[in-house]
Amino acid sequence: MRRDSLWCWRAIALTVALSLAGCSHESSDWKSATAADTSEAYQQFLQQHPKSTNAAQARTRLQQLQEVHDWQVASAADTRDAYEQYVTQHPDSQWAQEARIRIENFAQNAAGGATAPAAGTTAAANPKPSPKRTAAAKAAAEAPAARYVQLGAYSTQARAESAWKTLSAKFPEELKSLAPRYVAGKIHAHSVVRLQVGVATRAIAKGMCAKLKKHAQSCVAVSA
C-alpha cells in the first residue's frame, strides 16, 4: 500500500510539474509575442497555443495589424480603387470613414472633369450657335448666382476647418478673399463635412477649379 501510495503521489507531482511548466512556457511565449507585436509573432503564438486564454487577444491584435498594413497600402496607392478595396475588407475599421471620404473626393474630381467629345463628332453634328443664342448663354453663365466650389470632404468640422487654413495659405490668389462654408452630409450613413466656398459665377468656379486641379487639389463646382 505504501509503495502504491508513493507512486501515486509521484504521478500527481509529475502532472503538476508538467502543467506548471506548460503554463510557464505559454506565458513566456505570450510575452515574446506582445514584445515583438508583429503578425508573425501572434500567428506563431496561436499555432503553439490555440486554446490559450490569450488566444482571443492575439486574434484581435492580428486583425488590427492587418488593418494597419492594408491602410498603409491603400494610402500609398492613393487611388479610388485602393480605398474601395480597403472599405470592402475593413468596413468597420478606424480608417474606414477616412477611406470613404477620399473615395468621395475622387468621385468629386471625376464629376467635375470636362467631358471629352465623342469620337467622330463633326462640326455638322454640332452646328455653330447663332450670335443671339451665344450672347444669351454667355449672360446666363456670367449672371450672379448662388454657386459654390467644393474643395473636399472631411470626417469632422475641425478637420474641414484645418484643411481650409492650409488651402487658403497654399492658394492665396484663388482662395484668400473667399469665405468657407461647412456643409454636413452623409456618405453611406457616415457623417461628413464638405468644405465649400461661394463664388459669383460658373465661369469663376470653372477657372478656379482649373487652377487648383493643376496642383492635384480636389475641386468641383456645385449648386447651392
pLDDT at site 114: 42
DSSP β-bridge partners for residue 186? 191
**In angstroms, how far is CA 108 from the centroid of its own chain?**
15
Instruction: Residue 219: name the closest of 76, 126, 113, 141 by CA.
Output: 113
Instruction: Residue 150: name the closest of 177, 180, 113 by CA.
Output: 180
- Over its length of 224 residues, how does the chain's per-residue pLDDT go in tens digits? 556 665 665 666 556 555 555 557 888 899 999 999 998 999 999 999 898 899 999 999 898 899 889 988 988 888 889 888 998 888 888 778 778 877 877 776 666 544 333 334 333 444 455 555 555 445 444 444 458 888 888 888 998 999 999 999 999 999 988 999 999 987 767 788 889 999 988 888 888 888 888 887 878 887 76
Range of the domain at 153: 141-223
Asked if residue 111 is part of any domain, the answer here is no
Distance CA 174, CA 167 (A): 10
Distance CA 32, CA 11 (A): 31
Asked if residue 95 is part of any domain, the answer here is no
Domain boundary among 49, 77, 105: 77
pLDDT at site 4: 62
Domain boundary among 77, 99, 133: 77
Here the CATH number for the domain that contains residue 206 is: 3.30.70.1070
pLDDT at site 123: 38
Q: For 72, how many CA atoms within 13 A lie in the half-sphere containing its CB?
A: 6
* Strands in the chain per DSSP E: 147-154, 180-187, 190-199, 220-223
